[in-house]
Amino acid sequence: MLEAQGARLAVRLPPGGPPAWLPPADFRIETVGAGPCAVPGPDAMFRRRALAGPAVQVQLADETLALSGAPFEAWLRETVAWGFVPGLDRVPAELPAEARAALRRLAPVAARHAVAGWQPVADATADGPGVAVEAFGPEADGVRHFTLRRASGAAEGGANRATLRVDGVAPGATWVEPLRGAVREAAPDAEGRAAVGARLAPGEVAVFSLVPAEALAAEQERQAARAARGNDEAAAACAANLASLVAERDAGVAAGLEAPEVRVEGGPIAVALRLANDGADPAVVSEVRWSFEGDPVAETAAPRILGPGEHASLEAALRPPAQGGGWLRVTWRVQRGEGEWTGERRARLAAQPEFTLRPAADSLTSWNSETSAPLVVANAGDRDLDAVLAWSGAVERGRRPVRIPAGGEIELAIPVAGRPGREGAMRLRLLEGVRVRAQTEVPVRFLAARESALGDSRARLLADSAQPGACACAAADGRIPTQPSAGALPEGAWFSDETRRPRWIRAVLGEPATLGEAVFHWAPDAQGFVVPRRAALVGFTPEGDEVPLGEIAQDPGESVTAVRFAPVRLTAVELRQPPGGGPAARPYLLALSEWELR
Do strands 423-432 and 58-62 pair parallel, antiparallel, or not at all (unpaired)?
unpaired
270-298 tens-digit pLDDT: 889 989 998 888 999 999 999 888 788 88
Q: Quick one: pLDDT at residue 249?
A: 83
Is the pLDDT at 25 greater than 70, yes or no? Answer: no
CA–CA separation, 527 and 530 (whole Å)? 8
CA–CA separation, 17 and 352 (whole Å)? 40
Q: Is 146 exposed, middle or buried (0-12, 13-18, 19+ CB in 10 A)?
A: buried
CA–CA separation, 332 and 345 (whole Å)? 9
Comparison of pLDDT for 159 and 201, the residue scoring more: 201
201-251 tens-digit pLDDT: 888 899 999 999 999 999 999 999 888 876 688 999 999 999 998 888 888
Do strands 85-86 and 58-62 pair parallel, antiparallel, or not at all (unpaired)?
parallel
396-408 tens-digit pLDDT: 999 999 999 988 8
Handedness of CA 377, 383, 388, 390 (dihedral sign): negative
Q: Quick one: pLDDT at residue 6?
A: 39
Q: Quick one: pLDDT at residue 452?
A: 93
Whole-number percent of the chain with pLDDT over 90: 44
CA–CA separation, 334 and 287 (whole Å)? 9
pLDDT confidence bin for 15, thresholds 50/70/90: very low
CA–CA separation, 206 and 428 (whole Å)? 32
Cβ 576 vs Cβ 563: under 8 Å? no
CA–CA separation, 105 and 90 (whole Å)? 16
35-47 tens-digit pLDDT: 444 556 666 777 7
**Residue 344 CB partners (closer than 8 Å, separation 6+):** 240, 241, 243, 244, 329, 330, 331, 332
CA–CA separation, 181 and 51 (whole Å)? 32
Q: Could you please report the per-residue DSSP string of 460-518?
A: EEEES---TT--GGGGGSS----SPBTTBPPTT-EE---SSS-EEEEEEEEEEEEEEEE
Mean pLDDT of the chain: 84
304-339 tens-digit pLDDT: 899 999 998 888 888 887 777 888 999 999 998 888
334-368 tens-digit pLDDT: 998 888 888 899 988 888 888 999 898 888 999 99
- Mean pLDDT confidence for 94-116: 83
Is the pLDDT at 156 greater than 70, yes or no? Answer: no
Q: Quick one: pLDDT at residue 196?
A: 93
198-209 tens-digit pLDDT: 888 888 899 999
Q: Quick one: pLDDT at residue 194?
A: 95
Q: What is the dihedral of CA 562, 564, 570, 575, to 10 degrees?
A: -40
3-state secondary structure of 80: helix
Cβ 404 vs Cβ 387: under 8 Å? yes
Name the DSSP letter for residue 130.
T
Q: Quick one: pLDDT at residue 528?
A: 82
Q: Phi then psi for 239, rounded to 5 degrees? A: -60, -45
CA–CA separation, 464 and 468 (whole Å)? 13
113-155 tens-digit pLDDT: 988 988 888 899 998 888 989 999 999 999 999 999 987 654 5
Q: Quick one: pLDDT at residue 55?
A: 64
Which amino acid makes up residue 35?
A: G
